[in-house]
Amino acid sequence: MSSWSELSSVVKLWSPFGSVLLILEAKDAKKLLNSKTNISKGKDYNWVRPWLGEGLLLSTGEKWENRRKMLNPTFHFKILEDFMHVFNKESQKMVDILRKESQSGNTVDIHNFVTRCALDIICVTAMGTSSNAQDFPDGDYTKAINDYRRLTKDRSLRPWLRFETTWKLSSLYQRQQESLKMLHGFTTQVIAKRKATFLREKEQAAREDQFGEENDTEMIYFKSKKRLAFLDLLLQVQVEKGEKELSDVDIRQETDTFMLGEHDTTSSSSSFTLFVLGSYPQFQEKVHEELDSIFGNDKHRPVTSEDLNRMKYLEMVIKESLRLYPPVPFIQRTLSTDIPLDDGRILPKGATVGIFIYKIHKDADVFKNPEEFRPERFLPGLESYDALEYIPFSAGQRNCIGQKFAMMEEKVILSTVLRNFKVKVMMPLEDLKLLSEITLRSDNGLPVQLMER
């Protein structure tokens, strides 16, 4: 019997947390993604565990199942429609900031701007308050996220720090503790404030025999009477089921998970999409044509849900960009059962198994000339892939809960930028130094210039 290293579709690697069997082909990935029992995350997620705790991304078993059921309704289309206002406001703010850079003829790393916009969006949509990342790029919360990310990377480059004992004695660990204090402090404070308002409203509603009018102007996004947005839904569950079922720490962990799950991925995807469009003016031209057919010369009208439905070409571009630059290039599980593969080999119980999404998306049997950027692959009805061969949002039980949210948000961000600007890249696409730093990034940035349209 040959070993894993001789088998081209699954390779054995050493990660800072031990050995990993890495799946490179969709046929093997399907076995794992279809498994109902193998839903526990792998060891590499320990990088983010101190921040996210047992939130939806990292929890497993019954706890994960209950939370997933609990949180699913927060992605109801009615709630997402309410968020259009936030997507528009923050995207417009980003364009105003970018316009100043454009007028000064500056080259910008577009990823930084989109990241701050996405962070403000998730803060308002999940918690009802802004992180002010766009207004204050050097603010404490934004800085703490960047520090946490940098320290995670620094740790991964020092193999001796993978042991908890050496790690905890290091100065990096002390600095990570400081970032965590800031990260947890911010969400704890916002949640406490919202909880006080929520309980006050409930009392008032009970008195007035109605849900209660929204008085706190900062919380204007929580007006829905029946469908509760993320944080209010969690608070409602806490009121109904008690703190034993859902404690304040549980609420913070779920909130932190959504903060990271949303802003890191959508910013990676949106900024790579803008960079790719800048690299291929012919495709950018087609997006401009589509947007002109929807908005005419109007650069300011807020995007509506109907507009989003008409952005068919932009959607194909986003999907193709997600294929070549998947924001989550790897996912990982720890197996609780053996998984037999078609060729007779077995992924053994207890192993850490990764799925290399980035590589799976480049399978030439599924995507002809896979290295080519070709949005037409995603023409409705002409797709060459099945649901487990194209997996930017993963698939199966633990797929991404926020994929509709992501698509809507990205379309608003991208269309707002592209209605206003033409993107010109300041570095060839081939020179990007891709790396996985929690999500996919370019180590040498995504430098662009924006030309007013």
Contact in structure between 86 and 286 (CB atoms under 8 Å): no
Q: Does 406 bind ligand HEM (CB under 6 A)?
A: yes
CB of 38 to ligand HEM, least distance (A): 11
* Positions in 51-80 near ligand HEM (CB under 6 A): 56-57, 68
Q: Does 327 bind ligand HEM (CB under 6 A)?
A: yes
51 or 258, CB closer to ligand HEM? Answer: 258
Full DSSP string of 387-427: TTTS-TT--STT--TTHHHHHHHHHHHHHHHHHHEEEEESS
284 or 332, CB closer to ligand HEM? Answer: 332
367 or 393, CB closer to ligand HEM? Answer: 393
71 or 161, CB closer to ligand HEM? Answer: 71
Q: Does 265 bind ligand HEM (CB under 6 A)?
A: yes
CA distances from 68 to 73, 397, 409 (A): 9, 10, 21
Q: Does 393 bind ligand HEM (CB under 6 A)?
A: yes
Q: Does 392 bind ligand HEM (CB under 6 A)?
A: yes
Q: Does 354 bind ligand HEM (CB under 6 A)?
A: no
Residues that contact ligand HEM, how many (by CB under 6 A): 23
Q: Does 330 bind ligand HEM (CB under 6 A)?
A: no
Residue matched to tokens 């031209």: 285
CB of 388 to ligand HEM, least distance (A): 13
Can you tell me which of 400, 423, 438, 440 binds ligand HEM, judged by CB under 6 A? 400
Contact in structure between 334 and 40 (CB atoms under 8 Å): yes
58 or 161, CB closer to ligand HEM? Answer: 58
Contact in structure between 359 and 24 (CB atoms under 8 Å): yes
Q: In sequence order, what are the residues at sequence separation of 6 or more whose Cβ sits closer than 8 angstroms to the Cβ of residue 26?
A: 360, 363, 366, 388, 389, 391
* Positions in 285-324 near ligand HEM (CB under 6 A): none
Contact in structure between 329 and 21 (CB atoms under 8 Å): no
Can you tell me which of 53, 261, 375, 445 binds ligand HEM, judged by CB under 6 A? 261
| Structure-token pair, residue 216 | 């706190």
40 or 156, CB closer to ligand HEM? Answer: 40
The DSSP secondary-structure symbol of 41 reads: B
67 or 419, CB closer to ligand HEM? Answer: 67
Torsional class of 341: left (φ above 0), alpha (ψ -120 to 50), beta (otherwise): beta
431 HSE (CA, 13 A, CB side): 9
Q: Does 257 bind ligand HEM (CB under 6 A)?
A: yes
Radius of gyration, CA atoms only, the chain: 22
Alpha-carbon distance 186 to 188, whole Å?
A: 6
Handedness of CA 214, 220, 225, 228 (dihedral sign): negative
235 or 331, CB closer to ligand HEM? Answer: 331
CB of 328 to ligand HEM, least distance (A): 4
Q: Which of 7, 37, 25, 13 is nearest to 335 (CA)?
A: 37
Q: Does 29 bind ligand HEM (CB under 6 A)?
A: no
Q: What is the binding site for ligand HEM (CB under 6 A)? A: 41, 56-57, 68, 257-258, 261-262, 265-266, 269, 327-328, 331, 392-394, 398, 400-402, 405-406
